[in-house]
Amino acid sequence: MNRGLNIPKVKDLLTGEIVALQAHFSLNDVVKIFNSYRIYSAPVVNDENEVIGYFSENDSIKSLGNSVFYDEQKNPSIESIMSTVVYTVNPEWDVFELDSFFVSRGIGSAPVIDHNNRLLGVITRRDVIKALGKIVLERADYKKQIKDPVKLSSNQRAKVIIENRLDIH
């Protein structure tokens, strides 16, 4: 049912460099990385590049807010703050599986991993929007190529019926 459309897989959407964190990074390190790369979240990996957690702006805000509110000078490692429940993406999923994944979980990005839990990339909702937008344009072009059916008005149909009856007699 692809109707001649190019339905990309996750692996086709991965571009650019991957920014990942390590559990021993401090909160200040992560804030600097997020600002430098203009990202809002990143996977946390071990030395073998396996995904062990995920860290987001929300995690930063909670920790920094607590430090300010309680007037504490804290710069903990992100290991104690990061989420260890990580929703991961299969590189073989198509864009429709990916959009369902993001919508059902209410998340904005996720790590793409191989069968050994090693990081291949990070995919975002923005990547889904770009891919679906491209499909919409392709579909519009596809629909332009579809030929209109031959349509007969009531009068034309009656004329054909009459002519067929006359040929029978």
pLDDT at 46 exceeding the cut of 80: yes
Burial per residue of 118-128, b for 16 or more beta-carbon CB atoms within 10 angstroms, e otherwise: ebbbbbbeebb
Q: How far is CA 106 from CA 30, 102, 103, 158, in A?
A: 23, 6, 5, 58
pTM of this prediction? Answer: 0.75
Tell me the per-residue pLDDT of 98-121, one tens digit each, with 9 for 90 and over. Answer: 999 999 999 999 999 999 999 999
Q: What is the mean pLDDT of residues 120-144?
A: 85
CATH superfamily for 10-145 is CBS-domain (3.10.580.10)
- Domain boundaries along the sequence of the chain: 10-145
